[in-house]
Structures are given as C-alpha cells and as structure tokens.
Amino acid sequence: MLERVHSVRRGAQFSGEGDDGNDESKTRKNISMAMRASNYLTRTTYLWPFIVLFLLLLFHFSLIIHSRNFVCVSSSSDPLSRMRFFAVQDPDSDFGSLGVPWYVQHSERKIGSTLKNYVADVTPTDFVNTHWNLIYNPCSSCYFWLSKHGKTVEWTSKDLLKGLEEFVPIYETRPIKNNMYGMGFDHSFGLWFIARWLKPDLMIESGVFKGHSTWVLRQAMPDKPIVSLSPRHPEKYLNKGPAYVDGNCTYFAGKDFVDFGSLNWRSVMKKHRITDPSRILVFFDDHQNELKRLKQALKAGFRHLVFEDNYDTGTGDHYSFRQICDQFYIRGGGHSCFKDSDEARIRSTRKKFWEKAVDIEELCGPSEAWWGVRGYMRDVFNHSNKPITYTQHFKNSRFVESVLDVYWELPPVAGPSLTHQTRYDPARASTPIVEDGRFRLFQRLGLTRLDTSVFNGYTQMVYLQVSAQIS
C-alpha cells in the first residue's frame, strides 16, 4: 500500500507539471478541464479505497440507527412517524415556536397594525420601548423562556440532566404509584429539582390531592417545614389506597381548609420564624386562575412560585401564564382564526396526532376570540368562566411582565419517540432534556424502567421569579 502511494506521487512529479520552471499557477491555466480532471483523479487514486471504505461504513451506521425505527414505526400514530411527518409538514411556520420576541423580526409598523385591531391605546414605539425586555432565547433547550434585563434561571441543561439521574431512583420509591389526576414524572422531577436548587426555608403547596406533591417536596428538602392547603385532607384517601401524609407539614385541609388568598401569611411565617418571604417556595396545583394567585402571592411578598398546570391557549380549566403570555409579539404567539390559514391547516393536522392539540374550531370562540380559552378566562376547575376582551388580556400580560424577573418553563424530560407520550404536542413545548434519538441516554438515566403512562401529564410547568422591588 505504501509503495503504491509513493509511486503515485512519483508519477505526479514526472507528469511534466511545472518542470519548465514556470509559475505553477500560470501553467495550470493552459491545461484543459479534461486534463485537469484526469490529473486530479490520478493524483488522488490512493485516496479512493479510503473513500469507498468510509461510504460503506456510513451506509452501515445509517442502517443500524434506522433499524430501530423500522421496528417501531408501525403506523402513522407512532410518535416517531408523527415527528417525521411534522418535520415535513411544518417548513417555515411559526406555529409552536413560542419564545422568540416577535418584534425582533418584524417592523414596528406591522406590530402596530396587528395590535391596533385589539389595543387602541398602545402605539408601536411605546410598545417596543416600554415593553418588558424580552431577549432572544440563547438556550436551545428552553422553549418559552422570557426574562427581564437578561435575568434567567441559574441552572443549565447539564444540571437538569444530572438532576434526572439522581431523581429517577427516588421517583421509583414513591408511595403513590398511580397518581392519575395528579402529577406525573415530568412535573414531579421539575418540582423536586427547583425545590432542591432553591433550598427554601419553607415550602407552601396549594392543591394536595393524595399527597404526591407533598412527598416530592419532602424528597427535595428532608428537614424543612411544609404548609399544605387543600379542601380535602390527604389522610381521607388512606382508606381507599396509598396516600402520603407528612409529619412536618401544617395542613390547612379538611375542616381546617383556608384558601391561599385568605390565609394570614404573616402569622404563618411568624410561626415558622421566617422573616424573609423570599426564602419561601410556593407551589400551586389547585387549578385556580393563575393571575389571581400571582396577585395573592405578591400581596404576601412571595418571590419564588411554581405553577403546575400552565395550560396552553385554548386548553385547560383555568387562566394560565402560558395563556397570558401568548401575545402577538411572541413568535408562535397570537393566533389566527381564519379557516383558510396556515395555522388552521397545521392545527387540524396536528390534532390528529396529539390528544391535547386544539384545532381552530376549539381555539376560537365568538368574534374570533382565541385568547385564554375561546376568549374566556377560566377559574376554579372551570366552574367560573368569564369572557375577557383582548385589551384586558393584553393588559394582563403587561402586568405579569412588569412584576416578574423570570418566566421559565420546565422542558419535557424526553422526546415523544422515547416516552411514547401521545397527549401534548411537542411543537408547543420546549426541546426535551433528553432529545429524541438519544435512547442510550434515556436508558442510562433509568427512564426505560418507568411505565410510559407517567410521561403523559406534561403541561408546561412554570417557575416564576418575582422582581425584588415588587415584594
């Protein structure tokens, strides 16, 4: 082989190229294209076995990688084929790309004309100048990620991965194996991770059910007190099956139930000897209007809030932050109710694949009202359902933006081809912590040991940090 390489080189040396002492580049100009091609081929003959070998190896690897897909893809309802399908279907659409400030890409005039239809008193310049400082999302794994003055969460995707590795064995020891109507794996992980990262002195939870989320908080902070509020005490579930009642938790539940908005938080804090409310983490899973809860939390001076069910526009039983932040200036935000639009077509296709996806008929109420749920602000598990104008909805978003430093949505733990979830539309969620195709990692983290049903409950859990000057 070596000898052949030498002889090829020698051949090139004695081909007459440049042997008259002329500048090589000048000599080349006189050589025909055919000659050049033949010279090139002659010079590179020694490379061909390597190229062929490389191509063979490439073909072989691609067969290995795709062979798993061949086994998995049985019908178009398979998550993997879903994704392939949408990769083809969604070439340039903004649908599902929430997170990029719209005004970065569009002229002020265009924003103004879009908003003018809804909000008479906002001029485009006003809007851009006074608007919350949305910045381009530099983190590929954050989907709907807004921050004021460049502030964001301290943790990175790496921290989340490390956390997952630690959390899977903990989750396997959970007392309530079947937590239907409560949190699944993704949000359990998110709550545990955030609590562990922030290390609060006190944890408050509103919406307990059988006590799974109390157990999650306890795993994160074994020695810190918890305050739990729920109309029904979790001990009531004990005679029906597994439930969790915590020994270091003050329950405002059952006959002692007090709603979060009515509790005297000053006296609760005093009882727990807490003087700084920013040392408290509040977790809401009570299906109440989240704007109402935010205002109540602000009144008490709390700064770290987690909302479990952060429903997307057109879905859910209460007004959520995802809905509130869904505005025209967010890429993928603000919606069209035209039946003959790209969005309408994309939505109706995606609805066939994802149970929670909504088409234009479900999204839009009377007078093309798409915000909230068909122009309604839901509350108390949808027992209250009030229409709101777009102006009000827009003002709500501006209020939220004015009091928050950080809005951070927990990404799904893994892509749908790994978890086999079929409920939420991945186009409306951030890049998962374990991306599709990374089966080895998914397996290494122990996620293959979990029943697939635990991955079905993702609803964009969100962590909010209230600005220091507000509290």
Strands 280-284 and 384-387: unpaired
| In the complex, minimum distance from the CB of residue 185 to ligand SAM, in angstroms, rounded to a whole number | 11
229 is a contact residue toward ligand SAM (CB under 6 A)? yes
182 is a contact residue toward ligand SAM (CB under 6 A)? yes
Q: How far apart are CA 434 and CA 419, in angstroms?
A: 10
Q: Which of 137, 147, 152, 213 binds ligand SAM (CB under 6 A)?
A: 213
SS3 state of residue 374: helix
Q: Which of 137, 147, 152, 179 binds ligand SAM (CB under 6 A)?
A: 179
Q: What angle do CA 334, 338, 340 make, to 5 degrees?
A: 130
| In the complex, minimum distance from the CB of residue 246 to ligand SAM, in angstroms, rounded to a whole number | 13
181 is a contact residue toward ligand SAM (CB under 6 A)? yes
285 is a contact residue toward ligand SAM (CB under 6 A)? yes
- Of the candidates 429, 438, 432, which has an alpha carbon nearest to the alpha carbon of residue 415? 432
183 is a contact residue toward ligand SAM (CB under 6 A)? yes
- Crossing angle of the two packed helices 342-353 and 79-89, in degrees rounded to 10: 170
Q: How far apart are CA 229 and CA 385, in angstroms?
A: 23
Total residues binding ligand SAM (CB under 6 A): 21
306 is a contact residue toward ligand SAM (CB under 6 A)? no
208 is a contact residue toward ligand SAM (CB under 6 A)? yes
Query: Which segment (100-108, 157-165, 280-288, 344-352) binds ligand SAM by CB under 6 A?
Result: 280-288
- 348 phi and psi, to 5 degrees? -70, -30
Within 255-274, the residues that bind ligand SAM by CB under 6 A are 259-260
| In the complex, minimum distance from the CB of residue 252 to ligand SAM, in angstroms, rounded to a whole number | 9
**Consecutive H or E run containing 376:** strand 376-379
| CA dist list (Å): 386 to 9, 291, 317, 374, 392 | 83, 14, 12, 11, 12
Report the Cα–Cα distance between both ends of the chain, in Å, rounded: 76
436 is a contact residue toward ligand SAM (CB under 6 A)? no
| In the complex, minimum distance from the CB of residue 306 to ligand SAM, in angstroms, rounded to a whole number | 11
Instruction: Kindly tell me which of 49 and 254 has the beta carbon lying closer to ligand SAM.
Output: 254
Instruction: Enumerate binding residues for ligand SAM (CB under 6 A).
Output: 179, 181-183, 206-210, 212-213, 229-232, 259-260, 285-288
